[in-house]
Amino acid sequence: EAAVTQSPRSKVAVTGGKVTLSCHQTNNHDYMYWYRQDTGHGLRLIHYSYVADSTEKGDIPDGYKASRPSQENFSLILELASLSQTAVYFCASSDPGQGVYEQYFGPGTRLTVL
């Protein structure tokens, strides 16, 4: 079965600090995504990637960077964490090229910025 894992599962960070969230998939999917989830806003797309070494901006990219060093790994980087970035972050994968249009989500990372 398709598998997406995330680390850490939860993190407390200080305002102004650097945070890196990691995602690993064993689905052999080309596409990977980062979403944040806040009550009342649903899932919002931050960054995505359709090939290694390339990333694209989603709907809310400000304050976030992304890195895709390999097909399996996709990281989300908060260079200067802020209180407003407290949220649950989900990574997902899919592969339209293989006819896999649905998204497979990781378990999420709960980030609290103090």
Partner 1 sequence: GDSVTQTEGLVTLTEGLPVMLNCTYQSTYSPFLFWYVQHLNEAPKLLLKSFTDNKRPEHQGFHATLHKSSSSFHLQKSSAQLSDSALYYCASNTNKVVFGTGTRLQVLP
| Chain contacts with partner 1 (rule: CB under 8 A) | 33, 40-43, 45, 90, 94, 96, 101-108
Query: Of 103, 76, 94, which is closest to residue 31 (Cα–Cα)?
Result: 94
CB of 16 to partner 1, least distance (A): 29
CB of 45 to partner 1, least distance (A): 7
Q: Distance (Å, rounded) from C-alpha 45 to C-alpha 54?
A: 16
Q: Which is nearer to partner 1, 5 or 15 (CB)?
A: 5
Question: Concatenated DSSP letters for 57-95?
Answer: E-S--TT-EEE-SSSSEEEEEESS--GGG-EEEEEEEEE
CB of 102 to partner 1, least distance (A): 5
Q: Which is nearer to partner 1, 64 or 90 (CB)?
A: 90
Phi first, then psi, for residue 84 (nearest 5°) are -70, -10
Q: Which is nearer to partner 1, 26 or 82 (CB)?
A: 26
CB of 99 to partner 1, least distance (A): 9
